[in-house]
Amino acid sequence: MMRSQLSFFLFLLFIVPVSGQQKWALEDCIKYAVQNNLNIKQGRIEIEKAQQNFRQAKWDLMPSVGASSSAGYSFGRTVVEGDLVSQSYFYNDYNLRASMDLFNAFSQQNEISYSKFRMRAAENSSRNAIDDLAFKIMNSFYDVIYFEELLQITTKQKELSQLIEKKTDVLVKTGLKATADLLEVKANLEKDELTCIQTQNKLESAWIELRKAMNLRPDSAIALIKNTNPIIEDQNSNLDIISLYGSHSSWSPEIKSYEYDKEASRKNLSVQHAAFFPSLGAGASYGTYFYNGSMGDFANQFKANQNQYVGMSLNIPIFSRNANITKVKLARLEYESAKVRLDQAKQDLLYEMVTNYNDLKASWSELTQARKQFEADTLAFNAAEKKYDQGMINVVDFYTAKNRMSNTAGQVLRSELTVEVKKRIIEFYQGNRFWEK
């Protein structure tokens, strides 16, 4: 028994850490966020609400049918043929009614169109929210990747400073270096330690943003998988961004949402205009009653007391204290506002695409040069390290070469990730929703 418990305990020790450290690629993070992000869930609810409003708008074309019944017992004194007598009786009636709008200046048809456009706007708004979330996750994902790798760079620089401190301490003891050089090395070591702490703090902040966007627990333990494919220049370097804008804006959920909002506002204007026109309706009813003071039993009275009604009603608006005019003016202003919002969204999208494309080209140029500079700085640092060991240069010159190489390594890393992000954004403009594959 003890052996089986021990085996189970060891099994847990082995399994739990492994299962806790799940490895997630960028696509995995986005898919999880789309299923669990609270804003996306709220967007799905808004779609369902818009769908219900659309269905109800179509149901409003149907006739309205209702039934009612009442019963009562009356007692007390009343005058019958000149005499005051005590009398009591039971009364019971039944009614069935139906009504239907025949003409209301196509208000209901416009209400259906309005609800349909609002539903389409909600659907595209939700889809656009998913796109925004995907890129928010992507930025947070690469922020974590960046600070993780930058922490590796700063940690290596700190370890190098620790090694230099040991070497310099030996050189000071042998008289080949001055004590001031050792103090300078220690000061740089403390600076490297501070840089590591700052980078670690930024990494923690990046993790918090990523977990929040994904709706993960703050203590969730996951590991990210970085794209290991080499960063190379692609065919997007000579892209016609204006032509790409034309094709992307034709299906962009953001633009579609604003377009449907504009169409909904136009239909709402038509709905408000209908209040100036007469409306025609039809109605019918059937009823009967029972009165125990009358001759005959319930069945006979139910049949004898039947009454039917069929009629039509015409409503002509004359004066509504300027309410209809005000509603039309407000609806027209909302329509104009919707058109401006659409134009603004198109302009913002165009310049967003131009900016991202320019950033892609600029980042690639910076990456190309940063790689060359890193190669040169590495060679310069190796030479400076040999000269420092031989006492040919002072500690300030050595750390100048060391820090320059470290900064260039960070620049290469930042440029590589920027190129990766911008390439994915341009591919999205081309219709590649990469997280759905």
What pLDDT was estimated at residue 233?
A: 64
Residue 40 to residue 31: CA distance in whole angstroms: 12
Tell me how many degrees the CA angle 317-320-325 measures, rounded to the nearest 5.
95
What pLDDT was estimated at residue 7?
A: 43
CB 180 within 8 A of CB 208: no
**Pairing between β-strand 83-103 and β-strand 22-24 as defined by DSSP bridges:** unpaired
Residue 339 to residue 82: CA distance in whole angstroms: 78
Q: Mention every residue, 6+ apart, whose C-beta is less than 8 A from residue 297.
A: none
CA distances in angstroms from 381 to 33, 190, 403, 407, listed in the order given? 44, 20, 9, 12
Among candidates 157, 156, 158, 180, which has minimal Cα distance to 168? 180
Return the number of other C-beta atoms located less than 10 Å from residue 177's C-beta. 20
What pLDDT was estimated at residue 294?
A: 60
* Main-chain phi, psi angles of 94, to 5 degrees: -135, 140
Which three-class secondary structure state does DSSP give residue 365?
Answer: helix
Q: Which CATH number fits domain 22-62+100-276+317-436: 3.90.1150.10, 1.25.40.10, 1.20.1600.10, 3.30.1490.20?
A: 1.20.1600.10
pTM for this one?
0.83
Among candidates 156, 168, 171, 130, which has minimal Cα distance to 40? 130
What pLDDT was estimated at residue 111?
A: 95
What pLDDT was estimated at residue 166?
A: 92
What pLDDT was estimated at residue 413?
A: 94
Residue 39 to residue 126: CA distance in whole angstroms: 9
Listed by start position, the domains of the chain span 22-62+100-276+317-436, 66-99+283-316
- The residue ranges of the chain whose pLDDT is under 70 are 1-21, 78-82, 230, 232-237, 293-295
What pLDDT was estimated at residue 168?
A: 87
* Strand extents, DSSP E, 237-301: 279-291
